[in-house]
A and B are shown apart, each in its own frame.
Chain A
């Protein structure tokens, strides 16, 4: 079902805000992750692990799931569809992978925070915990790839999209110029 233009714009604003917000939250998380990976100070490490858990559960996970949901709404509610264009399909797969990896990684982050919250944990134990830097930086790269795909929308239809396009052509598509099209509109 194609959304009305006004509803589509609302959904688009929500999707952009949530998706770009996800990237920004990952950037903030990476700053803490770098500190956790490099700092030797026990108090800094303790603070980082506790903050990383808060950001992961209360910012990253909600933004990831909301971005995935609004992405589904945008694709199913517009002409792009979910499986018709490669850039949409690949964006969907990458978003699902990033969300699943994030949800799995929250277990590790929660473990770090539990250890860090224990007053009996020594500085050596905190320093031995390490970081989730590989996953957070990898996640940021994946999100930037999705962003590039969504902005540039590279050409290429899937076989399913190609078939659907020609099934609907008698009803919706025409090779003739659109008489309602106006230059610059």
Chain B
């Protein structure tokens, strides 16, 4: 009872999960560096985080929709 058993080590499921996470992180980093990341959802109107350039003046149909609503 006096001797403490040695630590059995990290479980296999933790190691496998860790490898999967590392692979996913590397893939995401590659995607971001190649310009295919999720930040692109704002990139059509400029860089991520920038203000959208409005063209409401030229879109009379949409304005009419809003007024009608």
Contact = CB atoms under 8 A, between A and B. Distances in A.
A175 B2 CA distance: 13
Interface of A: 42-43, 46, 86, 90, 108, 111, 115, 118-126, 128-132, 134-135, 154-156, 159, 162-163, 166, 175
Contact of B4 (A42, A135, A166): A166
A43 B64 CA distance: 11
A122 B13 contact: no
Contact of A129 (B38, B42, B57): B42
Contact of A43 (B4, B40, B65): B65
B45 interface: yes
Contacts of A122: 54-56, 58-59, 62-63
A9 B54 CA distance: 53
B52 A120 contact: no
A119 B63 contact: yes
Contact of B44 (A108, A111, A130): A130
Contacts of B14: 86, 90, 156
A132 B40 CA distance: 10
A126 B69 CA distance: 16
22 contacts: A43-B69, A86-B10, A86-B11, A90-B17, A108-B41, A119-B56, A119-B63, A119-B67, A120-B56, A121-B62, A122-B55, A122-B56, A122-B59, A123-B61, A125-B45, A125-B56, A126-B62, A130-B44, A132-B41, A134-B38, A156-B11, A156-B14
Given A122-B63, A135-B38, A128 B45 contact: yes
Contact of B13 (A46, A124, A154): A154
B62 A156 contact: no
Contacts of B57: 120
Nearest to B48: A108
B52 A125 contact: yes
B33 interface: no
B66 A119 contact: yes
Contacts of B52: 115, 121, 125, 128-129
Contacts of A132: 38, 41
Interface string B1-29: 10011011011011001000000000000
A132 B39 CA distance: 9
Contacts of B38: 132, 134-135
